[in-house]
Structure 1
Amino acid sequence: MEKSFLSRYKLLVEFLAEVLGENCEIVLHDVNDYENSIVAIENGHISGRKVGDSLTDLALNVLKDQEKLENDYLTNYTGKTYNDKKLRSSTFFIKNEENEVTAMLCVNVDLSKFIEARDLLNSIIGVDDNINEAKQEEDLSENFTSSIEELIDSIIESSIGNASIPPKRMTADEKKAITNKLDEKGVFLLKNSVSKVANKLETSEATIYRYLNHK
């Protein structure tokens, strides 16, 4: 991706941050470099990230899912930081002349203060808002990590954690199902992911490759 083209959006990152304030993180990702995708970020204190950090799990999933890439943007989905801070996130897809996604402009609003205010009001008026919150968890969600290693571990742990039994007691079919699920999430777009998955599932790299080649 041409640096001059990306530079235009770097200015937009600064502009949006000034307009929206310190409660809103603005991030520009170059998707040609998964491991060091962040090329500009303002208010990084919200997620703890910086320039040179990696893509998120949602970004990988989107890059793997052609149907999502047909959209111009995704809006108002749930984000979560490493310390469980909740965010409302939106992503604009920056595409080239061939309509390929080359970068992503992300806006992450820190909901912490709003949630505190809501809970205070609910404690006064006695309203339980868990129903709407539970529904949102079923929709798009995103986890923010600083490194590619943390990202891989986060996706693998969440997938294995959702299984009813630990890896050492899983059958080959169960391990294959988790491998296919990880593939759908874009995990295997990342370097060294096969060895990490093999280690987590307590199997060999050759077995993981066999699962991927025989879906």
Structure 2
Amino acid sequence: MSESVSLQIKKYIPLVEFLGSVMGSHCEVVLHDVRNIENSIVAIKNSHISNRKVGGSLTDLALKILKDKSYIGKDFLINYAGKTQDGKIVRSSTFFIKDDMGNVIGMLCFNMDVSKMVETRNLLDSLINGAMEVPENGLQLEGKQPGHHDPPIEDLHTSIEDLTTSIVCKTISETGITPDRMSSEEKMEVIQKLNEKGVFLIKGSVSEVAKHMKTSEATVYRYLNKA
């Protein structure tokens, strides 16, 4: 890592404190150095929202962005839903910090805790729209149901181990088949999906994947090479 690139990330650290103070205690501001996936967080303000701290890891969404390079031609990603490990709903946005070659080297992220706002909206929805269950002889107009909100597309985990386990378990569960009943083709498909999600950018992930897939590390590497 060159000194100039290191300084390019460091200059955003005072901005984390400033923006976190301006936005208030309901907004978490996080600065990531994406060249260190396992310990990417270099500064954080209002950390009580996700309970993460300096030295924490990237999120599942950030891994996918790095893997598929969807940041190319884009400066930021705004207003997507996320969820903390203890269940808080957050509205998130990310600014991409790039080097002179256009590669992402850092991310400045905002996570607004909207849990209480969602609870308030749900209460108002129930008052405005009435009961969720409609009697057989009743009629309800079509539209968004009370309590509707965008499903989270990002999970904010407090450790790289929790992040890895969460992605692997979620990907396996999406198949509807337990690893001990999977065919070789089905296992290779899971490995390919994990690769697309950037799991194998994480150090030690092959061992973790092999454990959950009930196979050997050598087999995981073989599937990766085929994928």
TM-score greater than 0.5 by the shorter chain? yes
Residue number in structure 1 paired with 2:215 = 203
Q: Does 1:213 align with 2:225?
A: yes
Deviation at 1:133, TM superposition (A): 4.0
Out of 164, 168, 190, the position equivalent to 2:176 is 164
Instruction: Provide closer, same or farther for how the CA distance between residues 197 and 186 of structure 1 changes in structure 2, counting only shifts above 3 A.
Output: same
Q: Does 1:142 align with 2:154?
A: yes
Alpha-carbon separation, structure 2, partners of 1:113 and 1:131: 15
Alpha-carbon separation, structure 1, partners of 2:8 and 2:25: 26
Report 1:180-199 matches (<5 A).
180-199=192-211
Deviation at 1:38, TM superposition (A): 0.3
1:89-128 alpha-carbon deviations (Å, 9 max, x no partner)? 1100000111111100000000111011101111211267
Which is greater in Rg? Answer: 2
Long gaps (5+) in structure 2: 133-143
Instruction: Provide closer, same or farther for how the CA distance between residues 131 and 121 of structure 1 changes in structure 2, counting only shifts above 3 A.
Output: closer
Residue number in structure 2 paired with 1:108 = 111
Residue number in structure 1 paired with 2:95 = 92
Alpha-carbon separation, structure 2, partners of 1:200 and 1:110: 32
Residue number in structure 1 paired with 2:7 = 4
Q: Does 1:61 align with 2:64?
A: yes
1:23-68 alpha-carbon deviations (Å, 9 max, x no partner)? 0000000011111100000000000101111111111000001233
Contact 1:159 1:178 in 2 (8 A): yes
Q: For residue 38 of structure 2, give the secondary structure of its aligned residue in structure 1.
A: coil
Residue number in structure 1 paired with 2:74 = 71
Taking structure 1 as the reference length, what is the TM-score of the superposition?
A: 0.93
Q: Percent identity?
A: 51
Out of 16, 20, 23, the position equivalent to 1:17 is 20
Alpha-carbon separation, structure 2, partners of 1:88 and 1:27: 14
1:131-188 alpha-carbon deviations (Å, 9 max, x no partner)? 8946x33xx7110111111110010011011111111111111110000000000000
Report 1:39-58 matches (<5 A).
39-58=42-61
Number of equivalent positions: 212
Letter paired with 1:172: S
Instruction: Provide closer, same or farther for how the CA distance between residues 8 and 188 of structure 1 changes in structure 2, counting only shifts above 3 A.
Output: same
Alpha-carbon separation, structure 2, partners of 1:130 and 1:87: 20
Long gaps (5+) in structure 1: none
Letter paired with 2:114: L
Q: CA RMSD in A?
A: 1.7
